[in-house]
Amino acid sequence: MNILIVEDDFIIAKHLQFLLNGFGYEANDIATDYTTAIEILQSKVFHLAVLDINLNGYQTGIDLADYIRENFRIPFLFLSAHEDIAVVNAALQAAPHAFLQKPFQKITVYTAVKLALKNYRLAALAGETTSEEKEDTTVIKDALFIKEKHMFTKILLTDILYIRSDDNYLELHTTKKEIYDPRNA
């Protein structure tokens, strides 16, 4: 699952990228402003966007959320350090699928992403979106995620040479790594 990060603070953006990649997502793209985010969104497919409310430049993350809703129809969540009720109310008018308060912790990032994906799916099922949006964008059909220690590794199905069963365990033999064996993780 490909996630776009739109955050103008480099340290926060890189920390968020590290956490999301650690959860098994692909968060390789970071934009620091509205215009760059639009260019990146137009260049590849994303399944979720994490949007800081205050961005470099005139346009905000709220403006970007409106653009995403009209043009890309993917879930998004807001990221903000603001405790100003007016800002929060303006953000809520954009109908984010989740909200993440800065500073964040690993578990709150995980929860916000899962909540955004679930809320998006529930909205689609409730008929609040078009039929094109009802296709589940949260299911990855061409890969598996294997837990190795505290991280998840994405393995493309096309890379699997064979699977060997050993009692309650499976060993995945792939073209990129000889063996994925949970007993050796």
pLDDT at position 42 is: 94
Neighbours of 113 (CB within 10 A): 24
- What domains appear along the chain, each with residue ranges and CATH number? 2-125 (3.40.50.2300), 143-184 (no CATH)
- pLDDT in the model for residue 183: 66
d(CA 100, CA 98): 7
To the question of pTM greater than 0.75 for the whole model, the response is no
CA distances (Å), origin 98, targets 92, 101, 180: 10, 10, 34
Consecutive sets of 10 residues in the chain, 185 residues long: mean pLDDT of each? 95 97 95 96 94 91 93 92 79 90 94 93 69 48 72 78 78 75 64
pLDDT of residue 56: 84
DSSP letter, residue 108: H
Q: Is the peptide bond before 75 cis (omega within 30 degrees of 0)?
A: no
